[in-house]
Amino acid sequence: MAPSSSQKTAIVTGSSRGIGRAVALELAKQGFAVAVNGVRGLEDAAKVAETIQKGGGRAIAVQADVADPAGAQLLFDRAEKEFGGVDAVVNSAGVIGLKPVAELTADEFNRVIRVNVTGTFNMLHQAANRLRDGGSIVTFSTTALVMAFPGYAAYNASKAAVEAMTRVVAKELGPRGINVNAIAPGPVDTEMFFTDKSPELVERLIKMTPLGRLGKVGDIAPLVAFLVGPEAGWVTGQVLRANGGLG
């Protein structure tokens, strides 16, 4: 895709794999230039960016830990330098970590909070100061929040905080025409979903879902594209639960 002064730009955190990867690819299909982000190394993020480029789109890969304020700032710096500004931010970076409270250590709890809450806050902070007027922000919560499964205390606490921030920031940025929404997926077939889960728990979750299957990343990415697109201009401060009827 040839550079265009009217082309919109999206930053997608945690987009080297899983739902974030699918979102980056979908937004590129919708015409966005995309800053692809990974924290573990640049190789996977670079592959996603290369896929976008081979399809005629524009993309860069940025290694950054958004749980560090400097990492979030770097993502915006790189996107602005390469593409001229930022119109959409999708906060899909996250970790899960399932343990009963009796077994959960403070370090394990703090890791989940650091990535899921502090990482989202850092990106919201940058977006509140640097996103172009009329832009969009999408955060990620979870349907597990309303199900209250045993072992989910840290993860659910982190996502409750994300939902709370989402609603507040929607009101703060509304006067600038920026919409801010969250997506709360149900069980989706990704590497992160299977972390810390026994085959028995996975099967139980599938059976609890009225549609009788795990979600796919392709079930979620188009919803993000909708929320950052013009059709969602009147939608803000909402949590969209995409979960196959679970919860």
Residue 237, judged by CB atoms within 10 A of its CB (0-12, 13-18, 19+), counts as middle
Catalytic residue, from 76, 109, 152, 155: name it.
155
Q: Which residues of 178-199 are buried (b: 16+ CB within 10 A; e: fewer)?
A: bbbbbbbbbbbebeebeeebee
What span, in angstroms and rounded, lies between the C-alpha atoms of 205 and 181? 26
Residue 126 in contact with residue 100, Cβ under 8 Å?
no
Residue 122 in contact with residue 67, Cβ under 8 Å?
yes
- Quick check: is 152 catalytic? no
How far apart are the two ends of the chain, measured CA to CA in Å? 41
Beta bridge partners of 20: none
Beta bridge partners of 34: 10, 59
Annotated active-site positions, please? 155
